[in-house]
Structure formats: structure tokens, C-alpha cells
Amino acid sequence: MGATPLRWKLAEDDGGQGALFAEEELVDRHMGRGEYRGLEFLHVNARRIINEVPKASRVPFRYTINAYRGCSHSCTYCFARPTHEYLGLNIGEDFDRKLVVKVNAVERLRAELRSPKWAGEHIAMGTNTDPYQRCEGKYHLTQGIVRVLGEASNPFSILTKSTLILRDLELLQTAVGRTSVHANFSIGTLDEPVWKATEPGTPHPMRRVEAVAKLNEAGIPCGVLVAPVLPGMSDAPEQLEAVVNACVEAGATNVSAIALHLRPGVRQHFLDWLASNRPDLVGDYEQRFRRAYQPAKDQDALAVLVRTFVAQARGRWAPPRRIRSVSRPKPRASRSAPAPAPAEATQLGFSL
């Protein structure tokens, strides 16, 4: 364990509030052991844990919490990768294996929620990296955050790809009884080869579908983002219909699809990966992603197709039959906007 000087600079998506960490706070480096072998943990003390999104931002949420930076889920397309560059690390292997851990996240949250300036607004988690990525099993920061938000009756939402969220089922149930809570799973495809190739560190997509069912059965509203849909890999109608059917049958409160987008930096990373893994698609992707977002007509066509599959599936499995009612007091008054519509949120800012 030793001090590692890193270049800390705030990522734009964290709100433009200046340096996240005090300069004098050098980082302790911890090498992962056992099930965490191959990972490296960089401990920092965050100055703040609730990040305010700049007002000029188009994202439909104003406050976020990200206890970790970097993500061992290692999705090839992850748009959060460039945030590692802000730290002087690279967007490839460093992003997957060198994980920044804000070890004081829970105590900072308690202090910030107590502040008279805080008005109990909605907080979105999973906007940058996955709050239930593997190292959450070691650090339990998201667990502590969920506990504290629930105790404070502060509304929140969680977007994840990880079944580890089920570890916190009881805490989430308690929170649902006190405030507005919503979960979303990102399940881009059920196609095993595509999943293994593009999201190598994530739980199997069918385990995620089962988690959607368990959350809804437990009274925690949970939807699904079929995201991102990868041209030539996971966008065939039969692939989309399969994932929609499974999620609707699992009782997902909402199912919507998001087309892949590739911002500068991520675009090159993804194209490099494609050249090694699917060279037949490189030309098509270079054409499609001259800009970060695919043409509106292609995004619209995807949305319509998936909405059609959702409507058909809802006709077969009446919605959402597995959700049991939960008595819940009126959520604490909040000046914030309601939880973002998941599709819109992902399009505009979430990383999953």
C-alpha cells in the first residue's frame, strides 16, 4: 500500500464543482485479493458525495451519487470511460481494473443530507459507473448509501447491471415504504456470445431478468433498459423481441430501448475492439458514428419496434402481475423533478 499521486480533475458530468478530492489527499493503493484479484482499489476521501449536475446540462436529473469511478463490468461501449482520463488513467484497462473508491461516501452523505441547504431532492445512482459493480461486495458503499437515503426518506433511483442489488433487498423494501424508490436494470441482449464479448464483467443477462422479477415481487418497482442496442450484433428484431418478452414476463414496470452512441474517445476505443472482434462491422460503424448519436430516424425506428414488442408482450402477460402492493407514506416533499424516465435518462446521461 503506498501513496500514488494522481491527477484529479472533475469530470463534467459530476457537476463542474471543482476538484473532487483535496489535493493533499493522496491515494492509498490496495491490490485486490481472492475474488478481487486483478483489480486495484484507489482509496480517496471525497469532498462531497452528492453531485449537482450543471443547470445547462440536458440530463433529466439534478443530483447524482457515484461512490466508485471506473467499472469492472468492463463494457466495451461504456461512455464513462473518458472520466478515467480526467484522473490521469487510461480509458481502457485502467478503467476496468483501477477503481477509485470514495471510502467516506456514506459519512459524507449523512452530513450532506443534514445540511439545511438540502431539500430532499431525487438522487440518481448509476449515472456514471455501476453502483453494484463487483467491488461493492467488498466495500458496501452503495448499501450504506441506500440505508442512509431510506432513513432520511430521500427519493432515489438506481440503474445497474448487477444482481448484487438483491443483497440489499430488505433495505430497499424499507426505503420503498418511506419514499420514492425505483430500480432499473440494463439488459441489452439475451444473446450469450454478444453478452460475453461486449459486457465481460457483468452477470449473465438471464440472471438480471430474474433479478427484475425478484425486485418487483418484493415491491420494489424495477424496469429495464434494453441498452445499448448494438447495430449488427443485438439489433435483429428476434433478438429484441426475446429480451422484451423476458423482461415483460418478469414484471418489468417499464421496458424501453436505447441505441448505441459513441462519444469521442469511446468511439475509438470501441472501433479498436471491433477491429479485433468483429472486423466485418468496422466499415458500417465508421459510417454510422461519424457523430456520437445515430441518425434520429434510426433511433425512432428502434423505439417504435421495441414499443410494439412491449405492447404485444403486455397483451400476453398482463402488466405487472407480480408486483404486490406496498403501503407507503407520502414521500417527503421535494423540489426536484420526478425520477427521470429511464430511456430519456440513459440517452442523455446514464452510462449503462
Per CB under 6 A, residues contacting ligand SF4 are 71, 73-75, 78, 80, 129-130, 161, 351-352
Alpha helices for 190-280 (secondary structure H): 192-198, 205-217, 237-249, 266-277
Question: In the complex with ligand SF4, which residue's Cβ is closer, 132 or 285?
Answer: 132
With a CB cutoff of 8 Å and minimum separation 6, the contacts of 289 are 261, 262, 267, 271
Nearest to 160 by CA among 348, 342, 344: 342
Give the shortest CB-346-to-ligand SF4 separation in angstroms: 10
Give the shortest CB-34-to-ligand SF4 separation in angstroms: 21
Question: In the complex with ligand SF4, which residue's Cβ is closer, 42 or 71?
Answer: 71
Give the shortest CB-313-to-ligand SF4 separation in angstroms: 25
Nearest to 55 by CA among 63, 44, 47: 63
Give the shortest CB-220-to-ligand SF4 separation in angstroms: 20
Question: In the complex with ligand SF4, which residue's Cβ is closer, 188 or 320?
Answer: 188
Give the shortest CB-74-to-ligand SF4 separation in angstroms: 6
Question: In the complex with ligand SF4, which residue's Cβ is closer, 130 or 191?
Answer: 130
Question: In the complex with ligand SF4, which residue's Cβ is closer, 129 or 179?
Answer: 129
Q: What is the dihedral of CA 210, 212, 216, 221, to 10 degrees?
A: 180
Give the shortest CB-22-to-ligand SF4 separation in angstroms: 26
C-alpha cell at 170: 430488505
Give the shortest CB-178-to-ligand SF4 separation in angstroms: 28
The answer to whether the beta carbons of residues 97 and 47 sit under 8 Å apart is: no
Question: In the complex with ligand SF4, which residue's Cβ is closer, 80 or 103?
Answer: 80
Question: In the complex with ligand SF4, which residue's Cβ is closer, 145 or 176?
Answer: 145
C-alpha cell at 179: 419514499
Give the shortest CB-162-to-ligand SF4 separation in angstroms: 8
Alpha-carbon distance of 131 to 227, in angstroms, equals: 17
Alpha-carbon distance of 274 to 270, in angstroms, equals: 6
Question: In the complex with ligand SF4, which residue's Cβ is closer, 208 or 322?
Answer: 208
In the chain, DSSP assigns E strands to 3-4, 27-31, 40-44, 51-52, 63-65, 68-69, 98-102, 123-125, 156-160, 181-186, 222-229, 255-259
C-alpha cell at 6: 494522481
Alpha-carbon distance of 303 to 65, in angstroms, equals: 29
Q: Is 193 helix (H, G, I), strand (E, B) or coil?
A: helix
Q: Characterize 265-304 residue by residue with b for buried, 16 or more Cβ atoms within 10 angstroms of its Cβ, and e for exposed.
A: ebbebbeeebeeebeebeeebeebbeeeebeeeebeebee
